[in-house]
Amino acid sequence: MKLYLASKSPRRREILDLMRLDYDIVTAEADESLPVGIGMEAAGTLLAERKAKAAADLLADGETDGEEILVLAADTLVYLDGAPLGKPKDADDALRMLTLLSGRRHYVCTGVCLCAGGKTRTAVDVTAVHMRSFTEAEIRAYIATGEPLDKAGAYGIQGVGSVLVEKIEGDFFSVMGLPPRLVRGLLADAGFSYFDLITVD
């Protein structure tokens, strides 16, 4: 059995490393548009499933030596007032997003998909994040670190952006981009025990 992560995200790689799972990276272009009116949880699972299927199709076209292939993908969306905040286009857009988030609660939705044996399985988590109030000077200093520019909602909870967060209600790893408990659950649904797959020193 070989596990592939369909993501270039260093945060997701870090989480799988913490879980002691052996994996390779494979990514493929996937449609990231969303149907009008789609709900937050449905959006998260739809995008994760598209990524997993695209990567699985790419692997199917290559040489796998008959080895069983598992493909794991995730997508994280940030919602404020029912509308998604994607990755900022530039520093000005990051300033706009962070100004909107200051002193308010928003939601982070992470959908996860596992492709195994020709079948896709999905799971989703929604976590509430409460941001403290911060000044424009603090926002600009944070943007200057470069951290917000490749992240949905323009912040990273595992980095410098952690100082902007007052508290969360839910799963820290979901906000980071990949909840281990959902990974374990999807592996179990596909007939694999997580503890049989981890590397032990």
Among this protein's residues, is 75 annotated catalytic?
yes
Calculate the alpha carbon distances from 105 to 1, 11, 140, 149 in Å: 41, 23, 21, 21
Q: Which residue has the tokens 């374990």?
A: 184
Buried b (16+ CB within 10 A) or exposed e, 134-154: beeeebeebbeeebbeebbbb
Catalytic residue among 61, 75, 150, 189: 75
Cα 64–chain centre separation: 26
Q: Residue 3's closest CA among 24, 27, 17?
A: 24
- Measured distance CA(113)–CA(135) in Å, rounded: 38
Query: Measured on CA atoms in the order 84, 90, 93, 94, is the torsion positive or negative?
Result: positive
Angle at 97 between CA 92 and CA 99, to 5 degrees: 95
Q: Annotated active-site positions, please?
A: 75
